[in-house]
Structure 1
Amino acid sequence: MTRFAPTLVLLAGFGLAACNGGTDGESDPAGENATVAGHVAPTGNQASPVSPQPERTEAIDLKEKSDALEFSYRIPAEAAAIPGLADMLKTRAETAKRDALTEHAEMAESLPVDAPARAFELTVDWSVAADTPQLLVLTAEGYDYRGGAHGMPIHRVLYWDKAAAREIPFDALFTDRAAALATVRDDFCAKLDKARADKRGISLAELKKSTDDTMESFTACPEFDEKIPVAFTHPVGGKFGRITFIVPPYIAGPYAEGDYTLDLMIPKAMIPYVADKYRPSFPGTGN
């Protein structure tokens, strides 16, 4: 998605139903067939019955369009299959939609009758960034327009602990978040500078020499904070393969430059700062 939006939004979910078969009540005087958990056990040359395959959970698409709001919220099948996660995200989606409609109504009341408020737009599309035995990592891209010249991007990352059946904060992955991210700081800044120079059509030397007042803040390497979502991605063999930073507009460059998405290798130096509980999801560690 190439458009952008600044509000985090929400997801939804459906539960899975488990079906137990039952006997049909017919007698089997010869005792040739025994029933176990609703299934008929074969005897002799009788062919084994084919166990029914569980129905695949579908992605959840929440859509609504009116004069006030064009709303779209997508939850991938992998998240929809986890009742707690799906319900949590669906609740967030409904809350975000309600807040947008409330804000639009307030704006409409403040405008002249002959200048109606333009419809807002809120889209959020969650996808799976990584799926390990321990953690499901979701990333969201979206667009949030609330009037004005343009909207802003939505970029969010969600970590779901499968065993605990709950969302965990990014900090929970580490014993020391700052120290862990410091191990990729140099690579992050170097890769960001290269990407900025490429977008601006200048050399790295020219980027460093920039003194234009409007661009000076867009040549420095931004600090790691909540404005820059971080996702562990590209799993290999049940372990994360990369660490991905998503830098939105106005953090590393002007709005026109869009986002900067930077994929880095996970350095060995980071592993000692990973919490023991989650080390199996990181490279260079045992199961």
Structure 2
Amino acid sequence: MHRTHRVVALALLLAFALAGCRREAEVPGAAADGSPSTPQAAQDAATATAGPVRLEDVMESDPRYILGISYPPGMERYPGLAAELKRYADAARGDLMEAVEAHDPAAGSAGVPYDLTLAYEVLMDTPTVVAVQAWGTLYTGGAHGNPLVARFVWLPQRDEMLRAEALIADQGGWDEISAFVRDALHAALSQRLDADAVEPADRAKLMGSGSRMIDDGTTPEPGNFAQFEPVPGDGGRLRALRFVFPPYQVGPYSDGMQTVEVPASVLLPHLAPEYRDLFAAG
């Protein structure tokens, strides 16, 4: 599995090199989920006072590690968003280099090179909502790398990041979102087991263990729903949010990333007033 991962890493590094040559002409001047570890209030304050952020693609390698980070062009026009993207990448890079420095030279080449591949992609770019996804893998030993999964939803007119804890105004909203998501994930799990034609006894065990992971990973609190992306609708408004769950949160690594689309009709009764205009009412 790790050999395949390294091939993917090298392919991504080559893609970053080609994209980087083009991006340097377009952009002035350049996180274990890789998320910043400082409190959110401190992060927001630092973003507000920080100067312009330069997002430059990164390619590095030596016998100990391979590193590739690719940013989308043009995000510097949203300084707060650019700062968040760079902070996430810097955190992932810091985790990689910490593992590199901790590697025992006496172990020789066993388990190395470590590697980090991280790419950003713009999912939506409108006057009201800009959404960026981060995807990649951080390998610092073991059977496989740790997946990097993150979403960033920026509101240009408000000059702020849309965050789960501010989006929903009441606990009843999280209760309803949690129930909706759980039902969808349980149904998806059942369908996967049916498609795999699992024996009845094994199916019952897998359904039980899978359901427990789903329930544990979707308790009704903002932290479990921090990763989401907007789903555009008519008239420039959003018809839904797609909540994103990295491997291990609601299923084993083999299940990969899972998503559930929650329609505006479920969200609207519980949205904080300042965000209701973002969503379609139908």
The two structures have a TM-score, normalised by structure 2, of: 0.67
Q: Secondary structure at the match of 2:261?
A: strand
* Residue identity in the other structure for 1:284: A
Instruction: Check if 1:262 corresponds to 2:269.
Output: no
* Residue identity in the other structure for 2:281: G
Q: Which runs of 5+ in 1 are unaligned?
A: 17-58
- Residue 24 of structure 2 corresponds to which residue in structure 1? none
Distance, in Å, in 2 between the alignment partners of 1:227 and 1:281 is: 22
| 1:96-115, Cα deviation, whole Å (9 max, x unpaired) | 32331122111235xx2445
Which has the larger helix fraction?
2
| 1:78-120, Cα deviation, whole Å (9 max, x unpaired) | 52432342244234423432331122111235xx244544122
1:149 Cα offset (Å): 0.8
Instruction: Check if 1:182 corresponds to 2:161.
Output: no
Q: Which of 172, 186, 189 is equivalent to 1:193? A: 186
Q: Secondary structure at the match of 1:153?
A: strand
- Residue 251 of structure 2 corresponds to which residue in structure 1? 253
- Residue 13 of structure 2 corresponds to which residue in structure 1? none
1:70 Cα offset (Å): 1.9
- Residue 272 of structure 1 corresponds to which residue in structure 2? 269
Aligned identity (percent) is 23
Instruction: Report the more deviating stretch, 183-192 or 233-242.
Output: 183-192
Q: Secondary structure at the match of 1:283?
A: coil
* Residue identity in the other structure for 1:165: D
Q: Secondary structure at the match of 1:155?
A: strand
What are the residue-to-residue correspondences of 1:94-113 with 2, within 5 Å?
94-109=90-105, 112-113=106-107
The two structures have a TM-score, normalised by structure 1, of: 0.66
* Residue identity in the other structure for 1:193: H
Higher CA-based Rg? 1
Distance, in Å, in 2 between the alignment partners of 1:84 and 1:260 is: 28
**Do the aligned partners of 1:155 and 1:229 also contact (CA within 8 Å) in 2?**
no
1:60 Cα offset (Å): 5.0
Distance, in Å, in 2 between the alignment partners of 1:85 and 1:207 is: 49
Distance, in Å, in 1 between the alignment partners of 2:124 and 2:196 is: 35
| 1:152-181, Cα deviation, whole Å (9 max, x unpaired) | 2111122323234343432112212x4223
Q: Secondary structure at the match of 1:71?
A: strand
- Residue 279 of structure 2 corresponds to which residue in structure 1? 282
Q: Give the number of aligned pairs.
A: 233
Greater RCO, CA 8 A, separation 6+: 1
1:147 Cα offset (Å): 0.4
Given the superposition, is the C-alpha separation of residues 108 and 180 from structure 1 closer, same or farther in structure 2, using an over 3 Å criterion? same
Q: Secondary structure at the match of 1:63?
A: strand
